[in-house]
């Protein structure tokens, strides 16, 4: 069964020319990365089916992060408040996803977001802003439901 699961994945060698890529990174072959030179994915992180990373404004994914299918990460946006040429001016904001973060299916993460270590993001959430360690984040717009405490990181590291 493990061979079947791995057959759908690349180990990221040669698929994308990321700015930085750690050991054990798994990216499904259906994932699309725009501007991979601005994307860093560190050790043992995984991105599942149909993900999309738009990396104009830098995207950093730390160690042991698991991202479910249909993930969308947008580190840039445009100014649509001007009447003339509304899409000409672009804003780039870095996205940082910490260690041991779990992101559910159909999640969108917008520019300027920082998810510290141990955060869990519920399926279908639209995330923008800065979130502290071990927080459970759900909704559109995403809000903190509760802090999961230190046990989450200790348990996660023990199971790796």
Beta carbons within 8 Å of 48's beta carbon, 6+ residues apart: 28, 67, 68, 69, 71, 105
Q: Tell me how far apart the alpha carbons of residues 123 and 106 are, in angstroms, rounded to a whole number.
A: 6
Asked whether residue 141 carries a pLDDT value surpassing 80, the answer given is: yes
Largest Cα span, the chain:
56
Of 11-25, 78-92, 136-150, which range is least confident?
A: 78-92
Phi, psi of 109 (to 5 degrees): -115, 125
Q: What is the mean pLDDT of residues 114-130?
A: 96
Q: What is the CATH number of domain 31-159?
A: 2.160.10.10
pLDDT at site 92: 84
Q: For all residues of the chain together, what is the average pLDDT?
A: 82
Q: Judge contact between 109 and 95, C-beta under 8 A.
A: yes
Tens of pLDDT along 29-88? Answer: 899 998 889 999 999 999 999 999 988 889 999 999 999 999 999 998 766 555 555 555
pLDDT of residue 74: 92
- pLDDT of 5-17, one tens digit each? 444 444 444 456 7
Structure tokens given for 31: 């994932």
Mean pLDDT, rounded, for 128-148: 94
């Amino acid at each position: 069964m493990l061979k079947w699961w791995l057959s759908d994945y690349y180990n990221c060698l040669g698929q994308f020319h990321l700015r930085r890529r750690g050991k054990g990174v798994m990216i499904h072959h259906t994932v699309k990365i725009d501007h991979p030179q601005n994307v860093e994915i560190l050790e043992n992180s995984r991105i599942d089916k149909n993900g999309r990373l738009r990396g104009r404004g830098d995207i950093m994914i730390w160690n042991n992060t698991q991202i479910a299918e249909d993930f969308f990460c947008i580190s840039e946006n445009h100014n649509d408040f001007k009447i003339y040429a509304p899409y000409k001016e672009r804003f780039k904001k870095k996205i940082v996803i910490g260690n041991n973060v779990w992101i559910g299916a159909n999640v969108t993460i917008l520019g300027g977001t920082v998810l510290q270590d141990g955060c869990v993001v519920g399926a279908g959430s639209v995330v923008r802003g800065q979130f502290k360690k071990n927080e459970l984040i759900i909704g559109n717009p995403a809000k903190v439901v509760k802090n999961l405490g230190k046990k989450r990181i200790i348990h996660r590291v023990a199971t790796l």
